[in-house]
Structure 1
């Protein structure tokens, strides 16, 4: 098994992160949204120009799991300091690297990056049972629902909100 380590994302990582997101989105969402829609989403949301501002956003953490040759996963979170609420916006692991503990390593680093945080919140696609199982096994509990409106053909996507209290 390859040894991955977690580090801060850098500008040189953005092409690999964009490719990682495209691959994981196709593996996860082609069956839900269709390949064409996933192509549209990844071209917009996961482009280098869309990812780049995250490198310098205040109160955020943008990290990758690296083995020296491959980025096996990535995560991005930001904190609302007034509410002591950390929002996990992304956590993705390449399909070929899943089951190696990379997701847990990324999640632990996000939690450690915001020591004053009291809650960690995320939204997950209601049909993404693999992700839901992962988050529940990591201590997250259902905390509501949200309806996301996509600019891609006006699609409304139900998302489940999960939260974990941090002690």
Structure 2
């Protein structure tokens, strides 16, 4: 059984491996293995993960069963005026998919931002599995971008889910 907890420096190597394996499993057929390796090295470097550990107004979590990291998620406030949070990462290792790890990570991210009105994300339009997951969890397509993450030149669909606030 996996438990969700805050990511720590001791998790970085396992997270790096999870991201690489998950990206190759998901995106090799879309971008090719060489491009996936290039993207993974850039977006998921040890340096970028370390920065997430201390980023203010964010949540960096893992799903851990005591022997391995089965999933990872990272979200941060993107606009505190409109009370919008951006989900930057939510990945579950291919061997662990279908065990509700993604739902547990998503739930923890939502709980971490109780004042948020909306949770937004960008997803590769050809990643039907991810889109199906997000739609099943209340996300709707609200737009598109030609520059996923604002720095890549890779197109993405933008999905958003309203969040209940008291």
- Band the TM-score falls in, shorter-chain normalisation: over 0.9
Which residue of structure 2 aligns with residue 13 of structure 1?
11
Residue 149 of structure 1 deviates from its aligned partner by 6.5
Of the three residues 39, 44, 47, the one matched with 2:45 is 47
Superposition pairs of residues 113-128 of structure 1, within 5 angstroms: 113-128=112-127
Residue 157 of structure 1 deviates from its aligned partner by 2.3
> Could you state the TM-score of these two structures normalised by the residue count of structure 1?
0.93
Gaps of 5+ in 2: none
Gaps of 5+ in 1: none
109-118 vs 43-52, greater mean Cα deviation: 43-52
> Could you state the TM-score of these two structures normalised by the residue count of structure 2?
0.94
Which residue of structure 2 aligns with residue 161 of structure 1?
158
Paired with 2:163 and 2:29, the residues of 1 have a C-alpha distance of 34
1:75 paired to 2:73? yes
Residue 46 of structure 1 deviates from its aligned partner by 1.1
Aligned residues: 163
Paired with 2:39 and 2:122, the residues of 1 have a C-alpha distance of 17
Compute the RMSD of aligned alpha carbons: 1.7
Which residue of structure 1 aligns with residue 133 of structure 2?
134
SS at match of 1:75: strand
Paired with 2:129 and 2:58, the residues of 1 have a C-alpha distance of 26
1:85 paired to 2:84? yes
